[in-house]
Amino acid sequence: MTSSGRFRKSFDIVREFAVADFRLRYHDSLLGYLWFLLSPALMFGVYYFVFTSVIYIKIPDFALYLILGIVCYNFFQDCTYSAMYSLAAKAHIIKKIYFPRYLIIVASSATAVFSLLVNLVIVLIAVFVARGVPHLLWLVPIPILCLMFFSTGVGFILAALYARFRDLSQIWGVLVVAIFWLTPVVYDVSSLPESTQITVFLNPLSRIFMLMRHYLLYEFFDMQFLVITVVSAFFTFMIGLIVFLRIQDQLAEQL
Amino acid sequence: MNVIELQSVSKVFSIPHERKRTLFHWLSSLGKGRYEFEPLYALRDINLEIEQGEFVGVIGRNGCGKSTLLKIISRIYRPTKGTAKVQGSIFPLLELGVGFQPEFSCKENVFLYGSTLGFTRKQLTARLDSIIEFAELERFIDAKLSTLSTGMIVRLAFAIAVQSDASIYLVDEGLAVGDSDFKEKCRQEFIRMKQQKRTMLFVSHDMAEIEQFCDRVFVMENGQIVQRGAAREMIDFYVEGRQSA
C-alpha cells in the first residue's frame, strides 16, 4: 500500500472515532452539545466568585486571565482522561481487528481539541471586545499546538499504563487536582515566593499557560521562553508516543 | 506463491495465579519477589504455508487454539516465538459487527465499522448502495441500529465485509448468519471469492461448510496442528477422534 493510501485510511479511522465519541458523549442533542461550553463557563463562575469575593487576587483583567486558564486546563483534563479511558472503551474492537492502536488516542484527543477550539473562539471574542485585537495574535497558535501536543503525550502515557493498572484513574484524579494548583490557572506566578516559582517553571504546562497569556493579554515576547516551552511540549509528546508504540502490540492481551 | 507462512510459531499466555490489575497490587507485591504464573500454551510450534487462492479450513474443539491462530495471522497478537509472514492485505472477520454503535443509523455504522476494517471514506461512499442492497436494508438505511433485529445487524456487517478488496480473508464462524436465503447469498459470495483467487482461512464447527469450501483442512488439538490434508479425510479423522475420546 502506498503511504498516502495508508495516511488516508488512518485519517478516516481517526475521523470516524472522533465524531462517534463526540456524538455519544453529548447524546446527539443540542442541549448535550451546549454542555461542553457550559461546563467551563460554570467553573469560571465558581472561581471568579471565590477569587473576587472570598480571596482577593490582584491580577489586571482577572476575568479574561481566569477564563483563558480554565478553558485550557479543562482541555488538559478532558484530553488526558479520555485518552486514558479510550482503550478500555474500545477493548472489544482491539481484540478483534488490527489497526494501529495509537489512532485511538489521536481520535480521543481530536474530540477534546474540537471542544477546546470552540471554547477558545469564545474567549478570543471576549478578548477582542474587552481589549481590542492583540498584536501578537498570530503567535497564539503556538501555545495552542503546544497544549495539544503536551496533553496528547501525557494521554499516551496514561493510556499505556491504564491498560495494565486499573487504579490509575483514581491516582490521576488526585494528580489532576495537584497539577491544577501547580499550574498558574487561577493565580499568577509572580505572586508566589521566589523559592516556589521554580517548581511552577519546571512544569511544562505552566509555561504553555504563561505563553498563551503573554501573546493574548500582555503583548509580551521572549524568544528563549518560547523555545523552551515548544521543546518541552514536543519532548513530552515524543516520550508518550514512543512509550505507547512500544506497548501497543500487547494491548489485545492486556485489555 | 505462499501468502501466509508461519514458522515454528508459539503463543504463550501467562495466567497469573493472582492477577494484578492495579498499581496498588503491583507495588504491594514488589517485596515478595516475582509473582508466579502458569504458562498457557495457546499455540505450540505451528508451521504452515498457505498459497494464494487456497481455501483452508481449521477444525478442532473449543480452546484448541483456532482463534489464537487467526489472531496471530491478523497481527492482533504477536507470536511469543517464531515468525508469521503475510503477503497481501488481510480482512479479519473474527466477529461480525465489532464496534457497531446501536445509537447510530445503518448508514453511519457502515462508515464507522468500515473504516475500522480498513476502508477509506471514499470507498465506503462509493459502495454504500451495494452494501445496503446486499444486506436488504434499503428501508432501514437511516434507522437506528438498535431498532433492527440481530439477524439484520449481522447481515449489514457481512455486507460490508464482502465489499472488501482484501486478498486474504480470515473467517471465524462467518457463515452462521441470517436466514436460509441470506445464507445462500453468502455462499455465492464465497464462491465468487474463490474464483477471484482470494485466500481464505476458515474456522468452523460446521463440517458441511468445511467440506463444501475448503481445499485443505488443518485439525488442531492443544495448540498444535495434529493432522492436515484433504477436507473429507480430515473431517473423518476429526469426527472419529472425537467419538473414540
**CATH code for the domain in which residue B63 is found:** 3.40.50.300
User: Once rounded to an integer, what is the mean pLDDT over residues B196-225?
Assistant: 90
* pLDDT tens-digit series, residues B19-35: 667 777 777 776 665 55
| Interface mutation target, options B120, B145, B203, chain A, most CBs of A under 10 Å | B120
State what percent of residues in chain A have pLDDT above 90: 64
If one counts the domains in chain B, the total is 2
Q: Which pLDDT score is estimated for B35?
A: 58
Rounded to whole angstroms, the Cα distance separating B227 from B170 reads 20
Helix (H, G, I), strand (E, B) or coil at B74: coil
Q: Domain check: are B171 and B216 in the same one?
A: yes
User: Which residues span the domain enclosing B132?
Assistant: 97-165
Instruction: Calculate mean pLDDT across residues A8-31.
Output: 87
pLDDT at res. A28: 66
In chain A, the residue whose alpha carbon lies closest to the alpha carbon of B172 is A96
Q: Is B115 within 8 Å of A20 when comparing Cβ atoms?
A: no
Mean per-residue pLDDT, A153-158? 97
Percent of chain A with pLDDT over 70: 98
- Comparing alpha-carbon positions, the chain A residue that sits nearest to B124 is A12
pLDDT band at B150 (very low <50, low <70, confident <90, very high): confident
| Mean pLDDT to the nearest integer, B132-152 | 91
> Are B47 and B72 part of one and the same domain?
yes
Beta strand B216-221 with B199-203: parallel, antiparallel or unpaired?
unpaired
Tallying the residues shown for chain A, one arrives at: 255
pLDDT at B49: 93
Q: Same structural domain for residues B216 and B150?
A: no
- Whether the per-residue pLDDT at A110 is higher than 80: the answer is yes
Q: Which chain B residues contact residue A252 at CB under 8 A?
A: 71, 76-77
- % residues pLDDT > 90 (chain B): 48
pLDDT the model gives residue B36:
62
pLDDT tens-digit profile of B126-138? 999 999 999 999 9
Residues A235-245 have a mean pLDDT of 97
Residue B122 Cα, gap to closest chain A Cα (Å)? 9
Distance (Å) from the C-alpha of residue A104 to the closest C-alpha of chain B? 10
Q: Does position A141 have pLDDT exceeding 90, yes or no?
A: yes
**Between the CA atoms of A60, A63, A69 and A72, what dihedral angle is there, to the nearest 10 degrees?**
-140
Let me know whether B78 and B180 are in one domain: yes
Beta-carbon contacts of B44 under 8 Å, excluding residues fewer than 6 positions away, are: B10, B222, B223, B224
Tell me: do B78 and B115 sit in the same domain: no
Consecutive H or E run containing B170: strand B168-172
Per-residue b or e along A89-105, where b marks 16 or more CB atoms closer than 10 Å to that residue's CB:
ebeebbbbbbbebbbbb
pLDDT at B32: 62
One domain, residues B81 and B6: yes
Chain A CB within 8 Å of residue B112 CB: yes
Same domain, B76 and B176: yes
Predicted local confidence at residue A223, as pLDDT: 94
B residues 114-133 closer than 8 Å to A (CB)? 115-122
Q: What is the pLDDT of residue B176?
A: 63
For the cut 70, the answer to whether the pLDDT of residue B16 exceeds it is: no
Q: A–B: how many Cβ contacts below 8 A?
A: 78
- Whole-number percent of chain B with pLDDT over 70: 92
Domains in chain A: boundaries? 3-254
Which residues of B, range 61-90, sit inside 8 Å of A by Cβ? 71, 74-78, 89-90
Q: What mean pLDDT comes out for the span A33-45?
A: 83
- On chain A, the residues whose CB falls within 8 A of the CB of B107 are none
Task: Please tell me the predicted confidence (pLDDT) of residue A1.
Answer: 56
Q: Which of B121, B170, B171 to mutate to test the interface with A (most CBs of A within 10 A)?
A: B121
- CB-based contact B75 A98, cutoff 8 Å: yes
Least Cα separation, residue B68 to chain A (angstroms): 11
Q: Which residues of A touch B (CB under 8 A)?
A: 1, 5, 8-9, 12-13, 15-17, 20, 23-24, 28, 90, 92-99, 161, 165-168, 171, 249-250, 252-253
To test the contact with chain A by mutation, choose from B12, B13, B19, B23 the residue with the greatest count of A C-beta atoms within 10 A, namely B23
